[in-house]
Structure 1
Amino acid sequence: MTHPITPSASLTCSDLSFQWPDGTTVFDGLSCGIGPGRTGLVGTNGSGKSTLLRLLAGQLRPARGSVTVGGGLGYLPQDAPLDTALRVDEALGIAERRAALGAIEAGDASEAHFETIGDDWDVEERALATLGSLGLGDVGLDRPMGQMSGGETVLLRLAALLLERPDVLLLDEPTNNLDVFARRRLYDAVDSWRTGALVVVSHDRELLERVDRIAELRSGAVSVYGGGWSAYEEALAIQQEAAERSLRTADADVRRQKRELEETQTKLARRQRFGAKMQAQKRVPGAVSGLRKRAAQESAGKLRGVQEDELRKAREQREEAAEAVREDAEIRVDLPHTAVPANRTVLRLEELRLPFGELHDGTLHVRGPERIALVGGNGAGKTTLLRVLTGELAPLSGEAAVSVPLRFLPQRLNVLDEELSVAANAARLAPEATDQHIRAQLARFLFKGARAEQLAGTLSGGESFRATLAATVLATPAPQLLMLDEPTNNLDLASVRQLTNALGSYQGALLVASHDVRFLESVGITRWLFLDRDLRETTAEEVRDLLGAPESG
């Protein structure tokens, strides 16, 4: 599935400006260029990554500026609908050529069939080879789309683009909601990309390790860093250290300029008092005194002006230095009441059978502050198991017993009342806590002062997750078993880092369903359970083998 790199494959934005109909400015004069190879486009939620891809793909029109694409372009948007009534060959866009080939093989030599095929006589072979490279070799070209899983349909949409052999390929969050097997296949496709320029928007660190460069979209500008995600983080750390040094130097300069200005003003005030005293005692003639006074005022005014100008320059330099320092604030929270003694039974499953999914024999005992990962393919029953543990669903048979206070953070984040403030939501889940305690804890989740009064329905995606996490872990009684269902889906990398920090302070048992191996490793998973027909003990290394994932750097 590899082809020689197309040297001309590129994307160029020149003076690009774009606003939404409500007047919100996304870009104002953005210029950047992306050449051949694999580029990971990263940035916080709301920075404009998906909007930029839509502008590059021609789905949105800029208010000013231009986009230039070198070669043919393919675009895979997030969550694009696909008609389940289609056959696979129709979704791939090759149904007419297949029909023409069939007609010719049956003896119909109509000119129209030859025009339909053009030079693409091997279209079926290419289609099957492309499907095979994405792990869909057993799907078949005549299969109805309605019989395919969600992950398979994402890979099928990618196969349709690859069949077109685009010089430039844009992928927007392609691994969202993919299980471990589908992610591995997509990783393989990215690894084998050789046809031109590939740009992928993603929060998936495993995927971002596979690119040739990272392009960061921040404050309406794009900065490019060579290498994958680990190299980007190292470069960023060096850059941040230099920015913080510059800020400390600028702060010291502002303090020095303020001190010198205050000393000058004190000296001038002393001189003025002395001159007024001399005039009052008539030791100096009035005319001479007046001339001296005017000269002193002019001299003092110039001196003050010079020093005020120096202070203004120092403050401007300080502002520039402060802008270079990133404000990726960290969550710092203390959760002592979540602690679980090492010998306490937290959860007990005995011969559990789920109403949905593949779990036929779930037997599990959890004791103390264990941190357990639930991994497996889509449909294996991870979410169903968590919903059974909350009591939302009943098992087909067997027993599920939770013996400590439990809280569940679902994928859809439907914990908060959107009509209430962040503080009111936290108070609703912690009725025994004082308002002062709630606000002090919310501040540690970065909801300080007036931000705690913001309505939940007006929060951004990352803010909503942070508020939900805060309300969940601050609830009373304090959760000693915390269950998370795909918590990193749709989170930007700063939010993932904040979640990891918060979970570092959590002292209870943790049960996490996730396909994000790097996240699971970062929160200190102690047991890995693979869901197929039972809860099978596995290891991080075995999960990585399933993913074909590189080792953590």
Structure 2
Amino acid sequence: MTTHSLTLDRVSYRLADGRSLFSELSFSFEPVATGLVGANGAGKSVLARLLAGQLTPDSGQVRGSGRVFLLPTPGYPPRGTVGELAGVGDALAALARIEAGSVDEADFACIGDRWDLRERLQQQWQQLGLPDGLDPSQPAARLSGGQAMRVALSGAWASNADWLILDEPSNHLDARHRQQLYEHLQQWRGGLLAISHDRGLLARMQQIVELDGRGLHRYGGAWQDYVDARTAEREAAAAQLDHARAQHRQQQRSAREQHERQQQRQARGNRDAKQANQAPILLGGQKQRAEATQGRAQQIQADRLQASAQQLRSAAAAVQAAPELALFAHEGERGSARLLQAQDLVLPYGCAAPLQLDIRRGQRIAVVGDNGSGKSTLLRVLAGQESARSGSVQQHAPLALLDQQLLALAGDRSILDTVQAANPAAAPAELRTRLALLGLDAQRIQRPASSLSDGERVKGALASVLYARPTPQLLLLDEPSNALDLSALQALESLLGAWEGGLVMVSHDTHLLQALRPTQVLQVSAEGWQWRDPE
């Protein structure tokens, strides 16, 4: 079997607004199952496009052998046709032209040896549980989020590529289809680079590579090995920072004490000179020699102080390379204990069985089930954004919904404008501080939301929900972990663990569900709704 590698040789890349994303980046990706992690906005998706040849670096080279298939994170609703979503739109169009009589060499080159592409796609779609009769030419917007991701993955499995680069491949997949994805990844024998924050997926990788402002860093082993290594690095960096602080304080004390001794010697010398009966020329020579000695001592001390200050800055930078992020919500009014009631609720789509709900303060309900069963529809109905087929919903307290489409961050509106609109009375400086604690700097929060990464938009949408007025007492969260980086996921888990209001969350992230510590689990299926105790 031929070994294929992907190599970055002193690659530099600037974004359209002139910002430098990568500078002199060099790294070699081995053809093993590799998870790529990093903060939102670090440039993981841009790096993927560079490796796949879809972008050209400003300087340096990307070298590789074999064919690379890139699966980008599909937007929602997805654009184009189902075939284009599967990444084979050009090949299907070329195949159609050849069948219509085309002899264009470009069409034959596009097809290569994939003459059975349609059949292989249909076989993949059947294995992935997609609807029968799915047509590659139909609009992809008709698909649900989970169906869209499975279609995109089908193109990857059918690609026969030497390298797969998958960008957040488990987004929108339910538990059953995530497990199916994991099995496909374990069976893949080519090069694999998975950009993901899904800890279940990362646990199945052979190595983890992290991208940050310093470059790319390789960690052998899977997710837990990476966590242990990063923990050890942070502890070592913190210890080094403590040592550097102590050294710098010692140098500051030494400099202060030296200055005081010099002042005392100078005062004593001045007194002795007045009392001594020596020629002025001799006194002048003594003074010059003393000043020269003092000058050398001062320079040595200044150099030591400067060196200790530089060591302190370097140690502080190492600790701050992975800043801790924080989410916090307004305390707000306690309000009533009962937050929402639903009686004989039948959804317009998905599960047709009636549902009874009585949500009170402190309840944390995890809603689980297959894609298409009605979980997202339930949240929209509870929030009043969609009408039920029958039954009633009574809201007894302010609530907020964070949906998968991130409608609050549509268009060219900035994160800061969106959060300010949700809380007009808040001081802009306070909101900027809170957004900074989410890893959203002053520049990002003022850019159009459409120019930000998926993870940055998720953070902004979270902020617009959590920092709103009136303070929501009931949170409805639909897959809130999608596209969040690991630091933001930890901050979200910390918030949900301490949240005192009501919470209804749809999620397929088992780690997040464990951190949520749900009081109840609501399972939805074609047969109906079922309450069960948390595991």
TM-score normalised by L of structure 1: 0.81
1:108 aligns with none
1:35 aligns with 30
The partner residue of 1:394 within 387, 406, 411 is 387
Conserved 8 A contact 2:84-2:90: no
Cα distance in 2 between the residues matched to 1:143 and 1:22: 36
CA offsets 1:165-211 (integer angstroms, 9 cap, x no match): 211111112222334444333222112112x2100111222221221
Conserved 8 A contact 1:39-1:199: yes
Classify 1:345/1:319 alpha carbon distance in 2 versus 1 (closer, same or farther; 3 Å).
same
1:293 aligns with 2:287: yes
Gap regions ≥5 residues in structure 1:
1-5, 104-113, 542-553
1:83 aligns with 2:77: no
1:549 aligns with none
SS in 2 for 1:40: strand
CA offsets 1:91-149 (integer angstroms, 9 cap, x no match): 59479879999x9xxxxxxxxxx99999778777755654455445x746867545755
2:19 aligns with 24
The partner residue of 1:363 within 345, 356, 366 is 356
Cα distance in 2 between the residues matched to 1:356 and 1:119: 42
Classify 1:63/1:381 alpha carbon distance in 2 versus 1 (closer, same or farther; 3 Å).
same
1:529 aligns with 2:522: yes
The offset of 1:76, in angstroms, is 1.3
**Of 230-239 and 176-185, the range deviating more from structure 2:** 176-185
Conserved 8 A contact 2:7-2:63: yes
Cα distance in 1 between the residues matched to 2:162 and 2:305: 53
The offset of 1:467, in angstroms, is 5.5
**Of 153-162 and 39-48, the range deviating more from structure 2:** 153-162
Cα distance in 2 between the residues matched to 1:190 and 1:175: 11
Classify 1:334/1:173 alpha carbon distance in 2 versus 1 (closer, same or farther; 3 Å).
closer
Cα distance in 2 between the residues matched to 1:265 and 1:118: 79
Cα distance in 2 between the residues matched to 1:190 and 1:256: 54
**Of 394-403 and 90-99, the range deviating more from structure 2:** 90-99
Amino acid at match of 1:375: V
Amino acid at match of 2:391: G
Cα distance in 2 between the residues matched to 1:523 and 1:478: 20
CA offsets 1:396-446 (integer angstroms, 9 cap, x no match): 211222323323333344557749668844642xx5x8x6xx977985665
Cα distance in 1 between the residues matched to 2:405 and 2:339: 25
Cα distance in 1 between the residues matched to 2:134 and 2:457: 42
Classify 1:85/1:10 alpha carbon distance in 2 versus 1 (closer, same or farther; 3 Å).
closer
The partner residue of 1:48 within 43, 60, 85 is 43
Cα distance in 2 between the residues matched to 1:141 and 1:387: 27
CA offsets 1:464-493 (integer angstroms, 9 cap, x no match): 655554554454554332221221222212
CA offsets 1:356-383 (integer angstroms, 9 cap, x no match): 3334311223334111112233332223
**Of 358-367 and 284-293, the range deviating more from structure 2:** 358-367
Conserved 8 A contact 2:33-2:191: yes
1:383 aligns with 376
1:328 aligns with 323
CA offsets 1:489-531 (integer angstroms, 9 cap, x no match): 2221211111222223321111112222221221212212122
Cα distance in 2 between the residues matched to 1:451 and 1:293: 56
Classify 1:149/1:425 alpha carbon distance in 2 versus 1 (closer, same or farther; 3 Å).
closer
Conserved 8 A contact 1:88-1:144: no
1:214 aligns with 208
SS in 1 for 2:392: strand
SS in 1 for 2:188: coil
The offset of 1:308, in angstroms, is 1.0
SS in 2 for 1:398: strand
Pairing 1:130-529 to 2, within 5 Å after superposition: 130-131=124-125, 133-136=127-130, 139=132, 145-146=138-139, 149-194=144-189, 196-325=190-319, 326-331=321-326, 333=328, 337=332, 344-415=337-408, 418=414, 424-425=420-421, 427-428=423-424, 443=433, 446=436, 465-466=458-459, 468-470=461-463, 472-529=465-522
The offset of 1:234, in angstroms, is 1.5
Conserved 8 A contact 2:86-2:155: no
Amino acid at match of 2:207: R
1:544 aligns with none
Q: Percent identity, please.
A: 34
Cα distance in 2 between the residues matched to 1:43 and 1:466: 15
Conserved 8 A contact 1:88-1:140: no
Amino acid at match of 1:11: L
Conserved 8 A contact 1:329-1:446: no
The offset of 1:242, in angstroms, is 0.8
The offset of 1:160, in angstroms, is 2.9
Cα distance in 2 between the residues matched to 1:423 and 1:179: 30
Classify 1:187/1:368 alpha carbon distance in 2 versus 1 (closer, same or farther; 3 Å).
same
Cα distance in 2 between the residues matched to 1:273 and 1:493: 61
Conserved 8 A contact 1:247-1:321: yes
CA offsets 1:4-29 (integer angstroms, 9 cap, x no match): xx451211111111112332111111
The offset of 1:152, in angstroms, is 3.4
Cα distance in 1 between the residues matched to 2:488 and 2:204: 22
Cα distance in 2 between the residues matched to 1:44 and 1:518: 19
Amino acid at match of 2:245: D
SS in 2 for 1:175: coil
Amino acid at match of 1:34: F
Cα distance in 1 between the residues matched to 2:488 and 2:29: 27
Q: How many residues align?
A: 516
Conserved 8 A contact 1:485-1:514: yes
SS in 1 for 2:252: helix
SS in 2 for 1:214: strand
Conserved 8 A contact 2:85-2:151: no
Cα distance in 1 between the residues matched to 2:67 and 2:531: 47
Conserved 8 A contact 1:419-1:457: yes
SS in 2 for 1:199: strand
1:109 aligns with none
**Of 330-339 and 117-126, the range deviating more from structure 2:** 117-126
Conserved 8 A contact 2:86-2:153: no
Cα distance in 2 between the residues matched to 1:441 and 1:18: 31
Conserved 8 A contact 2:87-2:152: no
1:15 aligns with 2:13: no
RMSD between superposed Cα atoms in Å: 3.9
TM-score normalised by L of structure 2: 0.83
Conserved 8 A contact 1:372-1:529: yes
1:546 aligns with none
Conserved 8 A contact 1:423-1:439: no
SS in 2 for 1:277: helix
Gap regions ≥5 residues in structure 2:
102-107
Conserved 8 A contact 1:338-1:479: no
1:106 aligns with none
